[in-house]
Amino acid sequence: MLTVDTIKALQARLGRLRAERSTIALVATMGNLHDGHIALIELAKQKADVVVVSIFVNPLQFGLGEDLASYPRTLQADKECLAAVGCDVFFAPTVEQMYPDGMHDLTLVRVPRVAQGLCGGSRPGHFDGMATVVMKLLNIIQPDVAIFGEKDYQQLAVIRAMVRDLNISTQIVGAPTVRAQDGLALSSRNGYLSEAQRSTAPLLHKCLVNLASLLKLGQDIGPSLTGCRQRLESAGFEPEYLEVRNAQSLEPATRDDDQWVIMVAARLGQTRLIDNLVIKVSEATVVL
């Protein structure tokens, strides 16, 4: 595995690989790798000859009062993990490498519509920062394919819209959410949970499954959402949002849609958890 921390060194290596007609896949992460990240890498290995994994805790996508300073950084362990799973190129740039002129007057990428509301409503500026760094990575690496997890459903929608609107040739592939045995979606932030909170956290996914069952039976969205929210609050969650949206556009759901996505963000103590569940409305089946 080649490890590089500068854009110049990375592009020099990738240039040689392209000359050999190798295809390139990107897995962009913020580190503290877990089985969900490994699943992204395994999928990337199926899609391309060479897998590039980046680790960069992007300050541009953290708002005031968020956990930039405390976000888990485990670079050496991550590097060993990447070597073990067959990563070809490990890119670990510094903030100065990614933002050499600082971030005060930086050109930003803003994706309207799909970035509004949901996490975009509760985390102002988050998707501008995320889209900007993903655009930079796509421009730097110019991968044939890039893999992103479906757990961050709105993020994936924002990236797809950006790539489509700006005519970027990289294929964006969504990878299914990886869960613990009790259903909790894997996340680097799960490590913030206390033992008691960790035992409660799987209720988030269970509520989504129950809500999906109610909607498949034809129950109205409004009362079903209210009941789900009350169940979460009774268990100690503080929901930020709980909504049913069109799975493609993220517009409010209608009965004419082919697919819905139930999306939730909730705090359990100081830990912010997100999850989602897609429903095929026409076939009345749930895609987990």
Active-site annotation, residues: 37
Both structure tokens of 255: 């009965």
Q: How far is CA 3 from the centre of its chain?
A: 24
Q: Is the dihedral of CA 234, 238, 243, 248 positive or negative?
A: negative
Q: Are strands 171-175 and 259-268 parallel, antiparallel or unpaired?
A: unpaired
20 neighbors 140 (Cβ within 8 angstroms): no
Q: Are strands 24-29 and 89-91 parallel, antiparallel or unpaired?
A: unpaired
Both structure tokens of 184: 């909790």
204 neighbors 275 (Cβ within 8 angstroms): yes
- DSSP 3-state assignment of 144? coil
CA distances from 102 to 59, 107, 278 (A): 11, 11, 39
CA distances from 109 to 4, 61, 68, 105, 134 (A): 26, 12, 20, 13, 9
Q: How many CA atoms lie within 13 A of 222 on its CB side?
A: 0
Burial (0-12, 13-18, 19+ Cβ within 10 Å), 180: middle
Q: Which of 47, 3, 5, 8 is nearest to 26 (CA)?
A: 47
